[in-house]
Amino acid sequence: MNTLNALISGAALAAGLSIAAPAMAQDCPRGTLDERFCDVDGDLIADTPTDESQLIDPDTLIFAYTPVEDPAVYKTAWADFLAHLEKETGKSVVFFPVQSNAAQIEAMRSGRLHIAGFNTGSNPLAVNCAGFSPFTIMAAPDGSFGYEMEIITYPGSGIETIEDIKGKQLAFTAPTSNSGFKAPSAILKADYNMVPDTDFEPVFSGKHDNSVLGVANKDYPAAAVANSVMTRMIERDVVSKDQIVSIYKSQTFPTTGYGVVYNLKPELQEKIRNAFFNFEWEGSSLKEEFQKNGEGQFLEMNYKDFWEVIRKIDTANGVSYACE
């Protein structure tokens, strides 16, 4: 909890940053949301339009999973769920393999993506800029959920503590990633007084699996990663446990948030929600992949509460939700 308290304190220092709410029109309050959206009910996500002409009802629904590893692996993993989604909605569903968080957000913002799982760190940007409306995350059968950020190295690297990273490279994934950049940046500054380009050299690998592989193959001396991704890679024998040494493990964060674009017809949104919550995990391709993290159900959640700590980390880092 020391780290969280430090982040909250950092948030207070960040008052006046560009994530502060803009002036709100009386009939369309929006907080930090893009000017295209309204948030009358105050849940921090874009309201579904009340004007029928602004609603969409596509014949083919496009689904994308956060780009953390080889897209081919996840096209197979999601196959049974997407077949179930077709039955529940009566529409064709296509898996869209995205290569970056930015590409995924832009696809939804431009109307080319309807259902998605956005990673922890990019959820706030997707909500504010693309009209993403998340409502569920994966959880264990007992209701527990989440993952931790770990800073890892390899045996014999000479790095045994966080302080040993000084003067060396530290691999991040992408600027929009919580565990791959935002959380470690805030933690290193708050708890260790270490900042990039001064105390260590930051490099970006693009994805969590690239960072894990980079450390295992000794391309990077250290990296900040989501341990959920690392666990699945170990389970698939992509890397072995003896190639990795963990020197830091964070508090638990919410994992990938799943939801829809805000302007789907309400009855279609409801069918999609039902598809998530009545999906039978047992014997499915989804369970085969995600049980490696101990996950076995979709748990209902809300963005306002579940992502509060992530928004505080963003504030501590001076992150802006401004949309280009």
Mean pLDDT check: name the lowest of 7-11, 175-179, 256-260, 284-288. 7-11
How far is Cα 307 from Cα 35, in angstroms, rounded to an integer?
A: 21
Q: Do residues 315 and 32 lie in contact, with contact meaning Cβ atoms separated by under 8 Å?
A: no
Q: What is the pLDDT of residue 290?
A: 92
Residue 30 shares a structural domain with residue 117: yes
Q: Are residues 53 and 172 in the same domain?
A: no
In contact, 55 and 131? CB cutoff 8 Å: no
| Structural tokens at position 264 | 């789907």
Q: What is the pLDDT of residues 35-94, one digit of tens each?
A: 999 999 999 999 999 999 999 999 999 999 988 667 778 899 999 999 999 999 999 999
- Which residues, 6 or more positions from 195, have their beta carbon under 8 angstroms from its beta carbon? 188, 189
* Residue 69, pLDDT score: 63
Provide the CATH number for the domain around residue 217. Answer: 3.40.190.10
pLDDT at 222: 98
Phi, psi of 261 (to 5 degrees): -75, 145
Which segments of 239-307 does DSSP mark as H helices, in order? 266-277, 285-290, 303-306
Q: Within a domain: residue 321?
A: no
195-219 tens-digit pLDDT: 999 999 999 999 999 999 999 999 9
Give the number of other CB atoms < 10 A from CB of residue 65: 24
Same domain, 182 and 279: no
Residue 74, classed as helix, strand or coil, is helix
Domain with 186, as residue range(s), is 147-253
CB atoms within 10 A of CB 80: 18
What local confidence, expressed as pLDDT, does residue 141 receive? 94
Predicted local confidence at residue 320, as pLDDT? 85
Tokens (6 digits) for 323 = 């949309």
108 and 223 fall within a common domain: no
Q: Which long-range contacts (CB under 8 A, 24 or more apart) does 33-41 make?
A: 33/127, 33/128, 34/128, 34/129, 34/131, 34/323, 36/131, 37/131, 37/262
Same domain, yes or no: 16 and 133? yes
Q: Is residue 109 within 8 Å of residue 323, measured between CB atoms?
A: yes
Tally the domains of the chain.
Answer: 2
Q: pLDDT by residue (tens digit) across 109-149?
A: 999 999 999 999 999 999 999 999 999 999 999 999 988 99
Tally of helices (H runs) and strands (E runs) in the chain: 12, 11
d(CA 91, CA 85): 8
At CA 142, angle to CA 240 and CA 301, rounded to 5?
A: 100
DSSP state letter for 181: I
| Statement to judge: residues 199 and 290 lie in one domain | no
Q: Specify if 108 maps to a domain.
A: yes
Q: What is the pTM of this model?
A: 0.77
d(CA 171, CA 159): 14
- Give the phi and the psi of residue 225 in degrees, each rounded to 5: -140, 165
322: Cα within 13 Å, side-chain hemisphere: 9
Asked whether residue 323 is assigned to any structural domain, the reply reads no
Query: How far apart are alpha carbons 128 and 125 in whole angstroms?
Result: 5
Q: Rounded to whole angstroms, what are the CA distances from 24 to 37, 39, 126, 304?
A: 11, 10, 20, 19
State the pLDDT confidence band at 6, using cuts at 50, 70 and 90: very low
Whether 126 contacts 310, CB under 8 Å: no
Q: What is the pLDDT of residues 264-322, one digit of tens each?
A: 999 999 999 999 999 999 999 999 999 988 999 999 999 999 999 899 888 888 888 87
